[in-house]
Amino acid sequence: MERIDDVTIEGQQARSVWVYAFDQADPRDRTRLGGKGANLAQMVQWGLPVPPGFTITTEACKAFWQAGERLPDHLQSEVSMAMLRLERAAGKRFGDAFHPLLVSVRSGAPVSMPGMMDTILNLGLNDVTVRALAYQSQNPAFAYDSYRRLIQMFANVVFHVPLDPFEHVLQSAKARHGCKFDGDLAAGAWKEVVATCLRVYAERVGEPFPQDVHTQLRLAIEAVFRSWRSQRAMVYRKLHNLSEDLGTAVNVQAMVFGNIGEDSGTGVIFTRHPATGERALFGEFLVNAQGEEVVAGTRTPQPIAELAIKMPTVYRSLITVAHQLETRFRDMQDVEFTVERGRLYVLQTRNGKRTAQAAVKIAIDMVHEGLIQPQEALLRVDAQHLRQLLYRRLQSTDGLAVLTKGLPASPGAAVGRIVFDANTAVAWAGRGERVILVRPETTPEDIHGVLAAEGVVTLHGGMTSHAAVVARGIGKPAVCGCDDLRIDMEKLTLCAGEAMLREGDWVSVDGGMGMVFIGQGTLAEAQMANELNELLAIADQVRRLRVRANADTPEDARRAREFGAEGIGLCRTEHMFLSPARVPLVQRMILATHAVERKAALDELLPLQVADFTEIFRVMDGLPVTIRLLDPPLHEFLPREEELVANLGRLRAKATSESEIAEVEQLLCQARYLREANPMMGLRGSRLGIVYPEIYDMQMEAIVIAAAQAVESGIQVELEVMLPLIGSTKELRHLRERMEQVGQAVMERLGVTIDFRIGTMIEVPRAALTADEIAEDASFFSFGTNDLTQMTYAFSRDDAEGKFLNVYFDRDILSSNPFETLDTRGVGRLIRWAVESGKSRRPDLKTGVCGEHGGDPASIAFCEELGLDYVSCSPFRIPVARIAAAQAALQHERIG
């Protein structure tokens, strides 16, 4: 970077280290110049109409903090030199009684922190220069108004004096003079206002407003540096995971005035529509106004198209500038401009914020326009952000009162009338009503209600509760754990605070936000526009990671293929046990007191499982399907103990037949026997398969029969059987050998050969720690990062999310939710170890992630770094995963 070293002060040559003029700075050095400074330098160097100025680097900010909130001496002399040069460029002098130079002082961090940092305008005005400005502009009202603005902004930014007392001065002056608008005040009145403001200033600050313009400048620079550590800036950085060490730069720029008359003005434009991505100028402007007024919203600006009528020449220039900026920055720009006496100045430009929809459209349009390469288009979208395109959403929540806020258990939105039990849900839905099922919690017995409803709300249970899991699986919105709601099942009412709803009342559910609103909102459908498909096609060419789906049913599988899944990475067989028709069979199997009886119940389940699998194979023709054998503890298939006890009480009160009572008693007895202190770590997964081998035998038999039927009808089956909750190689070997035997026996019986591979979930820390041994018995590892995160942190997700994670976020003990974004330091270390040591024993080991992290962009980037083969996520996340995988591949290539 060139330095301001051609300026001499009193013959002395000095090298600048902290201060760079716009026309001499290296625009690529955003770290030191900040985003705003770099863009100003860039625009100046491209010859765009930018008022001259200079940037004080972020390193000066660090030096300021290191020196104990003091500007180092050398910095002060560098600023003096830069001001000399600026005076020369502007043809005015700072503090001059005839041609005073006025400047703005603005912060500009390396990363955009909109609205977070401080700005002071009109610096250089004092009792003397204000008169010169009045004379030069032939507009005393403008000059004094500018001075007033400086005084109050300066008091506010430098000394944290609130704005109200100054505003009050202006308001009472207007009242006194019977004026409605600022512009109506006469010059004399303005002088009075300024005098009063100076008095207010002196009272509030404890010393007079500095008449020395260099003091003004020094204090302003210090204030901007100090604002880096303001409460709001720190909160923002925390929220966005930004480093505290970046520091901010300061931009000092000659003022231009949009409030100098009717031939002046100020505005903001986006070079394309930030909501839709449409290619047309979008923005607004105010005549005879300063920039702050647009932002502050004190006056209502006009649409930018009006400018074509009001100032056609300026408008044409603006179009040219917008085109230039977009072409040169190669992205949609958010531009602040000012018109001073008919002349256009660009004050700032940056890449414009945009909706997910706009991001996709703009990226693809720019590829078509030849502005960017297809791969660049990929990096122009925030993959996480894309999710909102894939679900229905509430068009607007204006006018809807919030009923409650719970956990965002399953994304998407729904609108319907509330019902309180599954049977009513089915009945109402049967006659064409849209219903929302509201339950204390859901159990397998409610599943027909969940299927019939548009969405589900529960009072208890977390992100992994039954309702949440089922709803996510079938892509319906759910809000869980709304523990401020109360249901009265007698009166059929639902209360939250003061609000009371009755059965049949309308509510609107936003599962992605975890919100429930009172009333009937309007839904907006999900959008998979052509541009998104085009972007996905680009992603598919770039990415290395395969993307599979977590899909448990043929419907899931179909949806997954539509979204571009390249296989099923996790087919949970337990969900097949939960359909209402099967629950009695499953319960009989659980109630069996010995293996023979259990086998009989399982024999009845067998053909049903076969049918499920056959259909899934048919849908996934030619793609791999990973079927996980039964995982959850058996008591999950029984009604809750409390419910059984209550039920028993009712039956007894009604003097029901003995046999009916006995049946419930037996269920209760078994539920109590199966009760566990910590079911997450109890009799489930492979342990279930070892203790009750008949269950896995049946499942394996069903899988092989289904595969054989599929193959017979010309379907290509690529089968992977996955064993859950493995903790040691002996568990795995025991089950693998048994499953191979069962598979072999079935194949011999049917006279067919089905190729299948057996692998394991890695979801228990010990499995990861002994992955070298485990790899000898597994042909693939699928990291079950949900459970692995739970065990590694010793966080029960259901308990943690309700009881302490919020406190952890508040106290900055956790910066992100490890159940959403993979904890690379702890859990990631286990995964890395498992991949490396597993591959050391079995180089062709296939590896993937099938936890919820499989759909999270940051986690996908980590999977790319580790060289996993695939990620698997819920069908609705697949487009996100495809984009994120491609982005990760590009990033990895860049680093690697």
Torsion angle in degrees (nearest 10) through CA of 886, 891, 894, 895: -140
Q: Residue 816 Cβ, how far from a copy of itself at the closest point, in Å?
A: 12
Q: Is 480 a catalytic residue?
A: no
| 896 carries a ligand binding annotation | no
| 784 carries a ligand binding annotation | yes
Q: Does 787 bind a copy of itself (CB under 8 A)?
A: yes
Q: Residue 439 Cβ, how far from a copy of itself at the closest point, in Å?
A: 17
**Amino acid identity for residue 155 in this structure:** A
Q: Does 682 bind a copy of itself (CB under 8 A)?
A: yes
Q: Does 595 bind a copy of itself (CB under 8 A)?
A: no
* Binding test (CB under 8 A) with a copy of itself, winner from 427, 526, 826, 839: 826
Name the nearest CA neighbour of 884 among 894, 893, 871: 871
Q: By the 8 A CB rule, do 880 and 888 touch?
A: no
Q: Residue 691 Cβ, how far from a copy of itself at the closest point, in Å?
A: 5
Name the nearest CA neighbour of 781 among 824, 691, 720: 720
Span interacting with a copy of itself, options 162-170, 530-538, 728-736, 869-877, rule CB under 8 A: 728-736
Q: Does 681 bind a copy of itself (CB under 8 A)?
A: yes
Binding track, positions 795-814, relative to a copy of itself; x by CB under 8 A: xx-xxx--xx--xx--xxxx
| Tokens (6 digits) for 186 | 């006469």
**Which residue of the set 61, 480, 482, 850 is catalytic?**
850
Residue that is written with structure tokens 């904890």 in the block: 823
Q: Which residue, 46 or 804, has its beta carbon nearer to a copy of itself?
A: 804
User: Distance between CA atoms of 153 and 145, rounded to whole angstroms?
Assistant: 12
Kindly give, in sequence order, each residue whose CB lies less than 8 Å from that of residue 649, ignoring residues fewer than 6 positions away.
none
Name the nearest CA neighbour of 455 among 479, 428, 421: 479
Q: Which residue, 51 or 685, has its beta carbon nearer to a copy of itself?
A: 685
Q: How far, CA to CA in Å, does 459 sit from each of 247, 420, 431, 487, 577?
A: 45, 12, 27, 9, 25
Q: Which residue, 390 or 800, has its beta carbon nearer to a copy of itself?
A: 800
User: Distance between CA atoms of 767 and 837, rounded to whole angstroms?
Assistant: 11
Residue 286's beta-bridge partner residues? 266
* Binding test (CB under 8 A) with a copy of itself, winner from 690, 745, 747, 750: 690
User: Distance between CA atoms of 891 and 553, rounded to whole angstroms?
Assistant: 35
* Binding test (CB under 8 A) with a copy of itself, winner from 239, 432, 678, 896: 678
User: Distance between CA atoms of 680 and 465, rounded to whole angstroms?
Assistant: 12
Q: Does 218 bind a copy of itself (CB under 8 A)?
A: no
Q: Does 168 bind a copy of itself (CB under 8 A)?
A: no
Name the nearest CA neighbour of 140 among 201, 104, 186, 98: 186
User: Distance between CA atoms of 388 and 378, rounded to whole angstroms?
Assistant: 17
* Binding test (CB under 8 A) with a copy of itself, winner from 556, 566, 731, 852: 731
**Which residue of the set 273, 460, 466, 853 is catalytic?**
466
How do strand 493-496 and strand 485-488 relate by DSSP bridges? Answer: antiparallel
In sequence order, which ranges of 391-465 are alpha helices (DSSP H)?
A: 422-430, 447-452
Span interacting with a copy of itself, options 26-34, 396-404, 474-482, 680-688, rule CB under 8 A: 680-688
Q: Does 697 bind a copy of itself (CB under 8 A)?
A: no
DSSP-based three-state secondary structure for 537: helix
| Tokens (6 digits) for 65 | 């903090």
Q: Residue 731 Cβ, how far from a copy of itself at the closest point, in Å?
A: 5
Q: Which residue, 248 or 796, has its beta carbon nearer to a copy of itself?
A: 796
The per-residue DSSP string of 235-281 comes to: HHHHHTT--TTS--EEEEEE---SSSSTT-EEEEEESS-TTT--SS-
Q: Is 466 a catalytic residue?
A: yes
* Binding test (CB under 8 A) with a copy of itself, winner from 657, 691, 744, 893: 691
Q: Does 790 bind a copy of itself (CB under 8 A)?
A: yes
Q: Which residue, 9 or 807, has its beta carbon nearer to a copy of itself?
A: 807
Q: Which residue, 7 or 735, has its beta carbon nearer to a copy of itself?
A: 735
| 32 carries a ligand binding annotation | no
Binding track, positions 759-778, relative to a copy of itself; x by CB under 8 A: ----xxxx--xx--x-----
DSSP-based three-state secondary structure for 386: helix
Q: Residues marked as binding?
A: 572, 628, 763, 784-787
- Active centre residues (catalytic): 466, 850
Q: Residues marked as binding for substrate?
A: 572, 628, 763, 784-787
Q: Which residues bind a copy of itself (CB under 8 A)?
A: 462, 676-683, 687, 690-691, 725, 727-728, 730-731, 734, 763-766, 769-770, 773, 787, 790-796, 798-800, 803-804, 807-808, 811-814, 823, 825-827, 829-830
